[in-house]
């Protein structure tokens, strides 16, 4: 299996290990710089520019049944691509993280440092009532 990674960062060692063990992924595929930049800067316009979605679906054309798509980003685009993945039997995943924050006071200044620690991947699913 392959994992297609559409995030604004590379995967951590723990995330890669989980993909290998739980999803049997032997290869991780990242988008080229052009697609990566487009995905990270989707224009905040009233209507979504469908060329972005089309470029991602073109990138996913080589994905096979039960390959994985790790996707997080702008909500509307993510929704459309999760729907695309589910309809094409690609397993869409998102990362679940634990947020650890620390505040340090130094006189009149307060600095907050937040670390996000990977917990697991969770599958996007259609709602079942």
For residue 80, the SS3 value is helix
Closest CA to 73 of 46, 44, 110: 44
What pLDDT, on a 0 to 100 scale, did the predictor assign at position 84?
A: 98
Phi, psi of 77 (to 5 degrees): -65, -40
What pLDDT, on a 0 to 100 scale, did the predictor assign at position 73?
A: 93
52-61 contacts at long range (C-beta below 8 A, 24 or more positions apart): 52/77, 53/77, 53/80, 53/81, 53/84, 56/6, 56/31, 56/81, 57/81, 57/84, 59/4, 59/31, 59/35, 60/4, 60/84, 60/85, 60/88, 60/90
Spatial distance between the Cα atoms of 46 and 95, rounded to a whole number of angstroms: 28
What pLDDT, on a 0 to 100 scale, did the predictor assign at position 116?
A: 79
What pLDDT, on a 0 to 100 scale, did the predictor assign at position 112?
A: 86
Read off the pLDDT band of 113 (50, 70, 90).
confident
What pLDDT, on a 0 to 100 scale, did the predictor assign at position 64?
A: 97
What pLDDT, on a 0 to 100 scale, did the predictor assign at position 89?
A: 97
pLDDT in tens, 69-111: 999 999 999 999 999 999 999 999 999 988 888 888 888 888 8
pLDDT for residue 114 is more than 80: no
What pLDDT, on a 0 to 100 scale, did the predictor assign at position 54?
A: 96
pLDDT in tens, 22-48: 999 999 999 999 999 999 999 889 999
Instruction: Kindly state the average pLDDT of the residues 14-24.
Output: 96
């Amino acid at each position: 299996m392959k994992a297609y990674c559409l995030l604004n960062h590379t995967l951590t060692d723990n995330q890669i290990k989980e993909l290998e063990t739980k999803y049997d992924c032997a290869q991780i595929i990242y988008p080229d710089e052009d697609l990566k930049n487009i995905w990270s800067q989707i224009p905040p316009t009233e209507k979504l520019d469908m060329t972005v979605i089309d470029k991602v679906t073109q990138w996913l054309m080589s994905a096979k049944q039960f390959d994985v798509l790790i996707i997080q980003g702008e909500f509307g685009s993510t929704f459309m691509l999760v729907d695309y993945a589910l309809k094409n039997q690609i397993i869409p995943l998102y990362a679940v993280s634990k947020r650890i924050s620390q505040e340090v006071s130094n006189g009149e200044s307060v600095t907050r440092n937040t670390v996000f620690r990977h917990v697991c991947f969770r599958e996007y699913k259609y709602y079942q009532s």
